[in-house]
Structure formats: C-alpha cells, structure tokens
C-alpha cells in the first residue's frame, strides 16, 4: 500500500508557528525515509493552531529539504485566487523541483466568513468554480478555446513536465467533475466520513475521461489518524484530537493543539461530547497494527492502493513515532538507500 501525508503543521501547546514549521520539515524527511509517496501541505486561514496558510511557500521549503517524495498542496483554495497566479506558482515549483509537484486544489474558502471576505475584498464578481478550474488547466498548457479572452496566455516558466493536478472533494458532484475533467481525485474522508466516499469514488471512475494529465483514474483517500504504542495511549491521542476538532470548526478555535496534559484535565460538556460523536468517523485511531488494518479496509472500500493520513496528534515525537510504526505495520516499501543531503536553494 502507498502511504502519503497531509500536514496541517500543528502548533503544539507552548510552542510557536516557527516550531511547527520546522517540525513539518522533519516529518517530511522522515516520511521520505520511510517510503512515503506524497507530502501535502494544507491551506487554512484564521486558525492559529495550524501554521499552514500558504502551501506553495511550504512546498518549496519541504521539497528543498527532501529528494524524492512528491510534494503538493492539500489543497490550494481556488476561489480565493487568480487561476493564472496559481498556475504560475506551480509552474515555478515544477521548474525548481522537476517531476515532484502535485497541484491539489479545492473549492472551499478555508476560512470563516469574515476572514474569507478579507481574502477576497477587492473582487467585483465570483467566477464559477468550473470556469476557474478550466482556466487554471488552460494556463498550465497555454491551450485556451479560440474564443477565450485568455487565448495566447500561458503560465511561465515553461517546463518539460507539468504539475499533476488533483481535485480535492468530499462529495459525489465533485467526484464526477474530477472524472469528466480527466484529473486525479482525492476524497476528504476526514471531512465527510458518512459513507459517501466509496460511492463518490465509483462516480469518479464512471465519469473519467483520459487526458494528458491522467491516462487512467487515480483515487486517494485522506483521513485523520492517531497512533499509540498501546490502546490506552491511542485513546489519549484520540481524546486530544477530538478536543481540538470540537473547537477548530467553531467560532472560537483553540490557538494551540491541546496537549495530553490539558486534555486529561478537561471536563467535557454535553455539547462537546455531541460534537465529538458527530466527528467520530473522521479519525482512525489505535495501535499501529489496528490502524493499519483499518486503513487497508478503507482503501479497499475506495478501490485504491493509496491512503493519505493527517497526523493531528499533540507533540512532534508522537507524530514521528506514529509514522514509523504505521509504515512498518503497512509494510511500506522503504528506499534502499537514504536520500542524499539536499542542496536546493532553500536548504
């Protein structure tokens, strides 16, 4: 099975965003060492407990500190930006790190209403998502319809290969859109764990039309994971995750990821427990062997051989340990030799 990482760059209690970003670099290096396929960075705004708000900048840092693992966005939030600017950013990344760049994009704003308005306050109109995606792909290739107002415009710098586009979604309609566009598809099981995912994967495959971007359908399923050395430790990590998530999507998110100590001392309210119950399926937790079994079952349900995990666990040491034990339990193929020291311009 292929194992990939989606990283929110969590800011642990008592630490700063700079610590979280440095930890992300080390986690990416460990993921490469352990045979990880992809390392994706998130985009969130107005969430101080997660440091990732500009995937392109973090991608450059991560790619310069690694050698072989593919690096991507999970996801750049297309409605907030010019399609041309995104195309230029990813063409530049492809120039710096050839054949290693994934362009994952989504349609969510990634922020609360006020922050979303601040991100878009200069815009006079909203461009339909399908049009923004079409423009993005056409800027990457320079091939616009003859009647397009953008005919002749291409994102530079030109590259021999192009970034691999992924549509990120959590619904059947997004899946069908990805299939018809002939793009790779990642289902956010960590957002929608209600059982729609496997059906969406089938909708995607049925709608798929081969393109230069993807000759055959590609499905990745992404999920939150908490791994402990024992069942008891895994339950504590799950508690910390659910405490963070109970507020992460509220009007008053935590400014740090709660520690195990904070979580142990927390008195859960009925409202918090109700939110936790609704979010239960978004996390897979347990020992490495138990999580590996659940990930294999999840991959089977989606008809894929690639799962992407989001390790929203408190503490860098815990996240590194979880990655080590999980890759071993999944028998992820480890590179024969350690990657050479990076010599990129950001190293």
Angle at 167 between CA 162 and CA 169, to 5 degrees: 165
Q: Is the pLDDT of residue 343 over 50?
A: no
DSSP string, 46-74: S-TTB--S-HHHHHHHHHHT-SSSEEEES
Give the whole-angstrom CA distance, residue 231 versus residue 233. Answer: 6
- Residue 346: what pLDDT? 40
The answer, yes or no, to whether residue 335 has pLDDT greater than 90, is no
Q: What is the pLDDT of residues 46-56, one digit of tens each?
A: 999 999 999 99
Number of structural domains (the chain) is: 1
How many whole angstroms separate alpha carbon 273 and alpha carbon 262? 16
- Average pLDDT over the chain reads 94
Distance CA 132, CA 87 (A): 11
Reported as a single tens digit per residue, the pLDDT across 138-165 is 999 999 998 999 999 999 999 999 999 9
Is 120 a domain residue?
yes
As a whole number of angstroms, the distance between CA 39 and CA 73 comes to 8
Query: Mean pLDDT across the stretch 179-184?
Result: 97
Whether 263 is in a domain gets the answer no
pLDDT band at 235 (very low <50, low <70, confident <90, very high): very high
Q: How many CB atoms lie within 10 A of CB 229?
A: 13
Is there a domain that residue 118 lies in? yes
Q: Which DSSP helix (H) or strand (E) runs through 320?
A: helix 316-329
Indicate whether 60 belongs to any domain: yes
CATH number of the domain to which 165 belongs: 3.20.20.30
Please work out, in degrees rounded to the nearest 5, the angle formed at the alpha carbon of residue 14 by the alpha carbons of 16 and 50.
45
Lowest mean pLDDT among 79-88, 119-128, 175-184, 261-270: 119-128
| CA distances (Å), origin 241, targets 27, 124, 143, 338 | 18, 39, 45, 32
- Please give the Cα distance from 214 to 207 (Å, whole number): 13
Q: In 282-299, which positions are buried (b, 16+ CB within 10 angstroms) versus exposed (e)? A: bbbbbbbebbbebbeebb
Residue 110: predicted pLDDT: 67
Q: Is residue 180 part of a domain?
A: yes
Contact 24, 5 (CB under 8 A): no
In a domain, 124, yes or no: yes
User: Residue 320 pLDDT more than 90?
Assistant: yes
- Residue 261 placed within a domain: no
Question: Across residues 318-333, what is the average pLDDT?
Answer: 97
The answer to the question of residue 257 being in a domain is: no
| pTM of the complete model | 0.94
Give the span between the Cα atoms of 69 and 91, in whole angstroms: 18
Q: What is the pLDDT of residue 108?
A: 79
Domain that holds residue 116: 2-228+284-329
């Amino acid at each position: 099975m292929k194992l990939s990482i989606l990283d929110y760059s969590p800011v642990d209690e008592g630490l700063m965003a700079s610590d979280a970003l440095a930890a992300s670099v080390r986690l990416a290096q460990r993921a490469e060492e352990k045979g990880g396929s992809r390392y994706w960075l998130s985009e969130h705004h107005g969430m101080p407990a997660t440091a990732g708000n500009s995937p392109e900048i973090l991608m450059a840092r991560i790619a310069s500190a690694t050698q072989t693992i593919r690096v991507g966005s999970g996801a750049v939030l297309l409605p907030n930006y010019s399609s041309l600017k995104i195309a230029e950013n990813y063409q530049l990344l492809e120039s710096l790190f050839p054949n290693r760049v994934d362009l994952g994009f989504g349609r969510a704003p990634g922020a609360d209403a006020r922050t979303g308005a601040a991100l878009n306050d200069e815009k006079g109109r909203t461009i339909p998502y399908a049009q923004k995606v079409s423009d993005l792909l056409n800027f990457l290739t320079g091939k616009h319809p003859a009647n397009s107002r953008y005919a002749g415009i291409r994102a530079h710098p030109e590259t021999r290969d192009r970034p691999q586009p992924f549509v990120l979604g959590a619904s059947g309609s997004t899946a069908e859109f990805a299939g018809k566009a002939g793009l790779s598809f990642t289902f956010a099981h960590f957002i929608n764990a209600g059982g729609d995912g496997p059906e969406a994967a089938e909708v995607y495959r049925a709608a798929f039309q081969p393109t230069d971007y993807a000759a055959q359908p590609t499905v990745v399923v992404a999920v939150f994971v908490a791994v402990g050395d024992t069942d008891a430790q895994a339950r504590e990590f799950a508690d910390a995750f659910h405490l963070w998530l109970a507020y992460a999507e509220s009007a008053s998110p935590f400014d740090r990821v709660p520690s195990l100590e904070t979580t142990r001392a927390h008195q859960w309210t009925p409202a918090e427990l109700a939110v936790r119950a609704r979010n239960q399926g978004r996390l897979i937790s347990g020992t490495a062997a138990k999580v590996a079994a659940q990930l294999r079952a999840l991959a089977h349900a989606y008809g894929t051989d690639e799962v992407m995990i989001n390790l929203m666990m408190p503490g860098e040491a815990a996240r590194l340990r979880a990655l080590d034990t999980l890759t071993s339990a999944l028998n992820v193929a480890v590179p024969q030799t350690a990657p050479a020291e990076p010599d990129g311009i950001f190293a």
